[in-house]
Amino acid sequence: MLENIIRLNLQKAIEKFSSANVLVIGDIIVDHFIWGTVSRISPEAPVPVVNVTDESLLLGGSANVLHNLYDLGARATLCGVIGDDLMGQHLLQLLREMDSPTAGVIKTHDRPTTKKTRIVAQSQQVVRFDREKTGPLSAETLDALCSFIEANIASFDAVIISDYCKGVVCARLMDHLRQLVSRHHVPMIVDPKPIHADLFKGATIITPNHQEAEKMSGVTICDDESLAQAAAALLQRLDSTAVLITRGEAGMTLLEKEKPIFTIPTVAKEIYDVTGAGDTVIASLALGLASGLSFAEAATLANFAAGIVVAKIGTATASAKELMELIS
């Protein structure tokens, strides 16, 4: 049972979310959902025939992190790249509807706006197909991203890096950002991809999942001892202050420098869809830290937020009201 003092601290932090301002840097994605029903198999191939009943275009990738921050009551600004296309225009319109600044969203002509299309029938994802171009950004686009960050970094309480390996998170951007957050004493919270692990040296806290932690640490996680070894290896490799390993139904595990390992059991009663759960974790974790919580308290808060979104279908968020009610 959650101790009363911890519960009170979490509730006070949630009340401070409205005064927090967070910068989200990373790969912007439009999540396209096609919803329908299945009643037969196609005579043309052994695949289901989906009768489409609804369709939606939602903020995905780093933009879903931003969406989570807004639903939690905070202010946030997105920094990344979109294409000069219809999906890019739609994404900008979604940001404007949230009253989120768009100056950090750089439009480029050499790649489309990344879109992931998921077909869902009877609450099950049938197939997903992606439209994207990955790889290094042009020097001009990187210049624009770095200039925006440098001009605005002092106004933010935290920086989130949301890496989906599309090209925004790269050595030049991270080297520039590392200097800026150090100079302005802004915490940097990273949702990493193993292929870019060394780019995140010096991060305040990283939030890999179980598989990512194994790949980044080189340790196969099979019990509590190997879990602790993996977390310790990540701390040493990246010289971060803390690492939070998300483990699905097994909850989360936090390790801070010179502190014992801290395991947080999941609060999710039912898990329907983990799409976007990592975005919710990093958004709520960053807001917890920006609102004065310790790493352990902020991780506990993030665990509650994750428990809310995995019980929903599709790219979902947790609201401050839902979070407050669950903690209470």
Q: What are the catalytic residues?
A: 279
Which residues have a Cβ under 8 Å from the Cβ of 277 and sit 6 or more positions away? Answer: 246, 306, 309, 310
Instruction: From 198, 148, 155, 136, select the one nearest 176 (Cα to Cα).
Output: 148
201 φ, ψ (degrees, to nearest 5):
-60, 135
Say which DSSP state 311 is in: T
**CA 231 from centroid of its chain's CA atoms:** 20
The angle subtended at Cα 238 by Cα 234 and Cα 241, nearest 5°, is 85
Question: Which residues, in sequence order, are CB contacts of 71 under 8 Å at separation 6+?
Answer: 317, 318, 319, 320
Rg (CA), the chain: 20
The answer to whether 24 and 76 are in contact (CB under 8 A) is yes
158 backbone dihedrals φ, ψ, rounded to 5°: -160, 155
Q: Which tokens sit at 206?
A: 């990283």
Could you report how far apart the first and last alpha carbons of the chain are, in Å?
11
Residue 17 amino acid letter: F
Q: String of b and e for 281-319 (b: at least 16 CB within 10 Å)?
A: bbbbbbbbbbbebebbbbbbbbbbbbbbbbeeebbbbbe
